[in-house]
Amino acid sequence: VPENLCYFQGHFPSLPVLPGVAELYAIVLPRIAEVRPGLGGLRRISRLKFRRTLHPGDVLDLSLTVSGLQVDFELVRSGIACASGCLAFSATQGSSPEGAP
């Protein structure tokens, strides 16, 4: 987790914590866009769980399981699940997420 993320400003001065929504927008969604650029916009979020707080400098593993327009994710720190959920995306015109590499 980059220490200079703007999301840490004021959240909280004595113990910076990455807000849950920032976990999605700063970590999870950019990686999904890299590995599945043919997916459209985020349509639905389900089974979203934030189990542990994330702090500047945390080293995370991100696991993605893609099935068509659905992506299950899990963020893990030192073998312990910190966040997980299921994201559903819209199809983009002319894309084929099923056959994408």
How buried is residue 19: exposed, middle or buried, by Cβ count under 10 Å (0-12/13-18/19+)? Answer: middle
Tell me how many degrees the CA angle 28-16-51 measures, rounded to the nearest 5.
Answer: 50
What band does 98 get if pLDDT is binned at 50, 70 and 90?
Answer: very low
Start-to-end CA span in the chain (Å): 27
Q: Could you confirm whether 55 is annotated as catalytic? A: no
Q: Are 35 and 9 in contact (CB under 8 A)?
A: no
What band does 11 get if pLDDT is binned at 50, 70 and 90?
Answer: confident
pLDDT of residue 21: 92
From the list 11, 36, 52, 77, the catalytic residue is 11
Instruction: Give the predicted TM-score (pTM) of the model.
Output: 0.86
Mean of the per-residue pLDDT values for the chain? 91
- Which residue type, as a one-letter code, is found at position 34? E
